Structures are given as structure tokens and as C-alpha cells.
Amino acid sequence: MLAVVNEDFVLRVPENLDLAATAPLLCAGITTYSPLKHWNVGSGKKVGIVGLGGLGHMAVKLAKAMGAEVIVYTTSPSKVEDAKRLGADDVVLSKDEDQMKRYAGKLHFVLDAVSAQHDINLYLNQLSVDGSLALVGAPEHPLPVAAFSLIPFRRSFAGSAIGGIAETQEMLDFCGEHNIVADIEMINIQQINEAYERLLKGDVKYRFVIDMASLKK
């Protein structure tokens, strides 16, 4: 299948990366890279990643490569092992009140990649002074925010969306240097409807990629 694109919107994929596994970088990669850079995630910083899905799993890899201490927040005990395999320094089960106290008021930055309705206040309360939470997931309905999740510690609640072309190229080059690609499950295009149903259940580790050669079948 052909795409025709304006020359200003074409990017170069580093040669050392597996091509199929770089496809998700063009959205999941840049959508997580951009806020991690903007909020200065790096060495000496404790960073929370909420939600281990297509975006969340990329955020863990990128934040780790940037040198941060990475804490993953998930509702699923079944994802704890995977979070550590992806590079997380610690994993907190968000339904466990005691575990949620471990880093409360201690994080420099939180990246929230959850697109279902959830209580954002739990994660705002993980932030330390001048900490920010950037939302990159898109829940369908507004999220209630309590004043006292923001007032103490002078916290910020922000959002972020993809990134510019220059930054996307920077992200691809960063991934080339650090050998970072997405964890993918390859499918034929004929399986796309089934893939959408599995996506709704979060049943993918962690991104479907379509082998477009299957379109010829």
C-alpha cells in the first residue's frame, strides 16, 4: 500500500533497529518521549509511569534510558514481572493503599498513560514540590481533580500530545543509540478487527503491528 507524504513530514529510521518494531515509535514513542524531555526526566530524578500499555511500556524504556529511577504504577499484579523486565526499578500496585504511600510526595514527574477513567488524585499525590503530572492517555469523561491534590507542594497537572517533526527525529535517533524499539505482536491486516477487540481489553503486549505485505493476499 502506498502513502504519499509531503517531504517535510518524512523521518529517517536508524538502520540498526528492527523496522517493524520501530513503527509504534511514531506515535507511542514520541508521545512519551516529548513530555519526558520537557519535564527534564534524567539522572537523579524519580519518575512514575502510570499504566503499562502501548504508551506506558515505551515510557518505561525511554525514562530508564534517560537515566531516571522509574516506578511503574499498575492495577494488575500480572504486569509486575513485565514492568521489571522492561526496566522499572520498582512497581506499585495502585489498588494497595500501603504501597501507594511508598513514594507519596516524592516523585519529580508522573506520566499518566491510562485511557480509562481513573482517580488522578492518587497519582497527583505522588508528586513532590513543583512536581508535574502529564496526562497522555485520553479518558472519555472529565477526571475530577481535588484542590488539595495540587495546592500543597505547588504541583502541576498537565497534558501532552505527540511532538514536532524535529523532536520525533530526535526521538528516533535516541532510540537508535540506545537500541530501543516497541514490544510488538505482528498481525496480518485481515486480523485487524480481532485486534481492535483485543485492544479494548488491553490484551496485547504491547502494540499490534500490521505486516502490510498481507494486504496483497
**Interacting residue ranges for another protein, rule: CB under 8 A:** 1-8, 10, 12-13, 15, 19-20, 22-28, 54, 115, 138, 140, 182, 184, 187, 189, 192-193, 195-196, 199-200, 207-213, 215
Among the listed residues 168, 204, 211, 205, the one whose alpha carbon sits nearest the alpha carbon of residue 187: 211
CA-CA distance, 121 to 138, in Å (whole number)? Answer: 16
Compute the C-alpha angle 28/212/175, nearest 5°: 35
Minimum gap (Å) between residue 94 Cβ and another protein: 20
Measured from the CB atom, is 124 or 171 closer to another protein?
171
CB closer to another protein out of 10 and 129: 10
Peptide bond into 206 cis (omega under 30): yes
| Least Cβ distance, residue 11 to another protein (angstroms) | 9
Residue 196 Cβ vs another protein, minimum distance, rounded to whole Å: 5
Report the distance separating Cα 111 and Cα 97, nearest Å.
20
Task: Compare residues 33 and 208 and give the one whose CB is closer to another protein.
Answer: 208
For cell 502513502, the residue is 3
Closest to another protein by CB, 48 vs 53, is 53
